[in-house]
């Protein structure tokens, strides 16, 4: 079972992953976006990490809800509302339970992903974060590792696509050949989830 400590470790691991990959995220964003995805995500997840360290929420749902709220308020551009919606909706779906299992987490993230799709109007194949989130959530019922792999494969698979949503869609065919930065940062979120689960196993 996954408790609030696990979810705090997940968000801390996500902040570390974004720190490591911030330059890469910005490089991916440069040709098809505003060249600020890395710095924006870095600012947001650092705020999440610091807040969770200062006043740790008591339940998994509260951790995700607080993280989502902070991302909305600190991340610039479209990424803040999208990531914030993902985590807030997932947190609300988990409710007040003190512990949840992996399948409950998968269903909560599915609800969050669907909320992101409604907010952004994006579907799989539109070259957005949805292309990593949907396969990752589908695979999460199998294992954390399967979700990480599916998210990474989904992110890489955005490279040959033409963007149909977001800033990159303004480029038309010129968006082809570039991996989507939002899908890439979404894959980092699931890599961090696996890291947190490995840490959990190490505690047992």
Q: Write out pLDDT tens, residues 76-93.
A: 788 999 999 999 999 999
Q: What is the pLDDT of residues 100-115, one digit of tens each?
A: 999 999 999 999 999 9
Rounded Cα–Cα distance for residues 55 and 62 (Å): 11
Mean pLDDT for the stretch of residues 59-79: 95
Q: What is the pLDDT of residue 77?
A: 82
Whether the per-residue pLDDT at 201 is higher than 70: the answer is: no
Rounded Cα–Cα distance for residues 103 and 3 (Å): 14
The owner of tokens 């650092």 is: 46
What is 31-42 written as a DSSP string? TTS-S-HHHHHH
Whether the per-residue pLDDT at 124 is higher than 70: the answer is: yes
The burial of 35, by beta-carbon neighbours within 10 Å (0-12 exposed, 13-18 middle, 19 or more buried), is given as: middle
Q: What is the pLDDT of residues 163-196, one digit of tens each?
A: 998 888 888 898 899 999 999 999 999 999 999 9
């Amino acid at each position: 079972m996954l408790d609030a400590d696990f979810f705090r470790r997940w968000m801390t691991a996500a902040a570390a992953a974004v720190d490591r990959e911030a330059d890469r995220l910005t490089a991916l964003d440069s040709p098809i976006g505003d060249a600020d995805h890395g710095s924006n995500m870095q600012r947001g997840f650092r705020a999440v990490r610091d807040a969770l360290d200062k006043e740790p929420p008591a339940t998994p749902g509260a951790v995700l809800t607080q993280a989502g709220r902070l991302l909305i308020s600190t991340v610039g551009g479209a990424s803040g509302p999208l990531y914030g919606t993902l985590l807030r909706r997932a947190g609300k779906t988990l409710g007040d339970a003190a512990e949840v299992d992996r399948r409950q987490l998968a269903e909560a993230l599915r609800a969050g992903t669907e909320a992101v799709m409604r907010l952004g109007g994006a579907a799989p194949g539109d070259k957005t974060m949805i292309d990593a989130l949907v396969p990752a959530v589908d695979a999460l019922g199998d294992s954390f590792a399967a979700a990480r792999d599916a998210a990474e494969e989904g992110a890489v698979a955005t490279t040959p696509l033409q963007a149909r949503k977001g800033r990159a869609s303004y480029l038309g065919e010129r968006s082809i050949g570039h991996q989507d930065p939002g899908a890439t940062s979404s894959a980092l979120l699931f890599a961090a989830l696996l890291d947190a689960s490995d840490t959990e196993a190490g505690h047992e």
